[in-house]
């Protein structure tokens, strides 16, 4: 392998090996659980599959992601380099395939920093009313933006860029603190549901959504697994910063996936344990959500309020805040490391590969993520969601390349178990891409019209960059 591949733009300094197993676990779980985990019970999970159907779907999705995680672990042990799926594709299929993989995976990571920052405004709206709705106001694609909420997003983006540049050890400790806050908040509310007389587990009936068959509902939730579990695949992005052996990443990723599935199931179940008066069951309540406002329109928040009063809202708010901030920190790390790895291999200009002289972090790549994230919130969360809708496609492509690479290397080494695991991961990745791109009646998980337009634009931009820069030779010098 060419030695220059492993040199950064400033070869005298290297990434520091400062991340413990707990830090890396927190990185993965913090990326998996975000704002969506707290609102999707009301706007997606329950209406689609019901409480039991969602629990079954999350367990199956957890198993699927665990199989794919085995492929990531196998490849991390072969190539313990920063870059993840990009590195695996490069070393197995060559530079053209590595470019294809990283182009879509990079967008998946990049947009989620801005999305999490904009979620702070949603948290403020639902728990603090109109506190941040001041200053100038305008509307984009039906979404209202206020100067105060934009200031909140900008402040978070700037703060966590600074945190990320300060060093991976500092970021790792901060991330671990946030994730323990997240888990603690969810567990406290869940335990309250077990002991409180206000919670009735009879409310879990019917177990499945009456709007579709149980199988269709379960499949519809499994179909979005690349989005719901996006984050465990960020682990290999920090491979050169582990202070432990790469083989431990198998347990780290599996535990993060299982914890993620548990949090999704707990929040979904919690949402139906306390049904507002006047509704016969959760199905009637969920169907009426478009006509409701305030906390009652958010089942998870309504349940926390009913179970523990303002104390419940405090703990849930703390958990949501931790989820949002840990997502910002986690995807700052993952995106900047991917850009750094691409620059080191001459896929991007050397500027992206420059490390901070004091903190040994890819400071320029972090600054690029910061600049993009500062611009995106001004277009509104609705417009940003059109781009983020493609994150599942990018994740599925990364899963596919990693699984295919594991299958090929395992076959060469006559490792039958990993060959089969890689083949299964590849087939599942293709399945995810198909159902995300091809409308299938009853699943309702493919991209919307705006998402298709954004995908086409991003594809055209990638083709232009490939032909004008990468293919022309600027991205292929060694």
Look at residue 475 in the predicted model and tell me its pLDDT: 54
Look at residue 7 in the predicted model and tell me its pLDDT: 45
Alpha helices in 79-94 (DSSP H): 85-93
Cα–Cα distance, 318 to 52 (Å, whole number): 27
Cα–Cα distance, 361 to 351 (Å, whole number): 13
Q: List the structure tokens of 371.
A: 């600049």
CATH topology of domain 17-446: Amino acid/polyamine transporter I (1.20.1740)
Look at residue 376 in the predicted model and tell me its pLDDT: 86
Cα–Cα distance, 306 to 162 (Å, whole number): 38
Residue 138 backbone dihedrals phi, psi, to 5 degrees: -150, 170
Cα–Cα distance, 230 to 116 (Å, whole number): 14
DSSP 396-441: HHHHHHHHHHHHHHHHHTT-HHHHHHHHHHHHHHHHHHHHHHS--T
Confidence of residue 477 (pLDDT cuts 50, 70, 90): very low
**pLDDT per residue as tens digits for the range 72-82:** 999 999 999 99
**pLDDT per residue as tens digits for the range 416-461:** 999 999 999 999 999 999 988 888 776 777 888 888 888 899 899 8
Of residues 202 and 405, the one with the higher pLDDT is 405
Residue 362 backbone dihedrals phi, psi, to 5 degrees: -75, 75
End-to-end CA distance of the chain: 11
- Domain ranges in the chain are 17-446
Mode of pairing for the β-strands spanning 137-140 and 143-146: antiparallel
**pLDDT per residue as tens digits for the range 6-39:** 444 455 567 888 889 999 999 999 999 998 899 9
- Tell me what the pLDDT averaged over the chain comes to: 89
- At 340, is the secondary structure helix, strand, or coil? helix
Lowest mean pLDDT among 273-287, 392-406, 464-478: 464-478
């Amino acid at each position: 392998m060419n030695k220059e591949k492993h040199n950064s733009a400033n070869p005298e300094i290297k990434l520091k090996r400062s991340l413990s197993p707990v830090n890396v676990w927190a990185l993965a779980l913090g990326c998996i659980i975000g704002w969506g985990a707290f609102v999707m019970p009301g706007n997606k999970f329950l209406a689609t599959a019901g409480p039991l159907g969602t629990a079954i779907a999350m367990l199956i999705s957890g198993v699927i992601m665990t199989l794919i995680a085995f492929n990531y672990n196998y490849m991390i042990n072969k190539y313990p380099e920063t870059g993840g799926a990009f590195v695996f594709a490069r070393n197995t299929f060559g530079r053209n395939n590595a470019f294809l993989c990283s182009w879509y995976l990079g967008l998946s990571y990049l947009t989620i920093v801005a999305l999490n920052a904009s979620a702070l405004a949603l948290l403020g709206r639902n728990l603090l009313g109109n506190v941040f709705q001041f200053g100038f106001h305008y509307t984009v694609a039906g979404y209202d933006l206020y100067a105060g909420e934009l200031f909140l997003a900008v402040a978070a983006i700037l703060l966590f860029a600074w945190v990320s540049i300060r060093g991976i050890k500092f970021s790792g400790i901060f991330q671990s603190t946030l994730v323990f806050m997240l888990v603690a908040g969810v567990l406290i509310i869940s335990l309250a549901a077990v002991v409180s007389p206000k919670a009735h587990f009879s409310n879990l009936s019917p177990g499945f959504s009456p709007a579709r068959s149980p199988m269709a509902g379960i499949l519809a939730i499994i179909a979005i697994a690349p989005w719901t579990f996006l984050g465990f695949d960020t682990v290999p992005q920090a491979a050169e910063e582990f202070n432990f052996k790469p083989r431990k990443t198998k347990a780290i990723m599996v535990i993060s996936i299982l914890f993620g599935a548990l949090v999704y199931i707990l929040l979904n179940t919690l949402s139906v344990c306390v049904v507002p008066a006047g509704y016969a069951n959760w199905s009637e309540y969920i169907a009426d959500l478009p006509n409701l406002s305030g906390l009652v329109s958010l089942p998870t928040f309504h349940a926390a309020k009913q179970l523990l009063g303002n104390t419940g809202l405090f703990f849930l708010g703390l958990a949501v805040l931790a989820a949002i901030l840990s997502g910002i920190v986690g995807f700052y790390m993952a995106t900047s490391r991917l850009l750094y790895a691409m620059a080191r291999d001459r896929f991007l200009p050397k500027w992206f590969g420059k490390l901070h002289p004091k903190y040994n972090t890819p400071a320029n790549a972090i600054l690029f993520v910061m600049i993009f994230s500062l611009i995106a919130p001004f277009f509104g969360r609705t417009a940003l969601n059109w781009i983020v809708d493609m994150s599942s496609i990018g994740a599925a492509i990364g899963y596919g390349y990693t699984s295919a690479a594991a299958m090929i290397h395992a076959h060469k080494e006559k490792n039958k178990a990993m060959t089969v695991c890689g083949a299964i991961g590849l087939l599942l990745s293709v399945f995810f891409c198909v159902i995300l791109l091809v409308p299938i009646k009853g699943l309702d998980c493919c991209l919307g019209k705006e998402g298709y337009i954004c995908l086409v634009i991003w594809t055209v931009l990638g083709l232009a960059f490939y032909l004008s820069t990468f293919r022309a030779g600027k991205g292929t010098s060694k």
